[in-house]
Structure 1
């Protein structure tokens, strides 16, 4: 069985010009560039994510939807869940 997931990955530069990302599961599917850029600017300007004096999400760089398909070859955990559901 295959399962598909879609996430929204927000990439920022931190205060030391290194990349940091936030990945959001179940994000709205059809956001515009202006909507996402605005949200990222709000995160950056809040300046609440910091470690050792370095702001983690200082400058918005990019945003991407990431789609992932997982196809099980086998999954014993799924079989156990199906058995418990049938009881």
Structure 2
């Protein structure tokens, strides 16, 4: 005799497996909205660095830094520090 329909038990098993698979996709980090927003913010900050647009950054006063090369040559340079900080990201850049 051929069986043409699912039994109630088979239907429940199929639904349980389907729910587990769907909930796994929904809870995976691939769909994490916070990570996506952080990634977009990092991309925006990188573009600001590339175009020297420091409107979103805090500019600190110019500092003098001493660099020693090969334990013999000493060089003094003036740099300005730009920083950005929020709950998830802390980033800074020194510029000559």
* TM-score tier (shorter): under 0.3
Which structure dedicates a bigger proportion of its chain to strand? 1
Q: State TM-score, norm by structure 2.
A: 0.24
Which structure dedicates a bigger proportion of its chain to helix? 2
Return the index of the structure with the highest Cα Rg.
2
Q: State TM-score, norm by structure 1.
A: 0.26
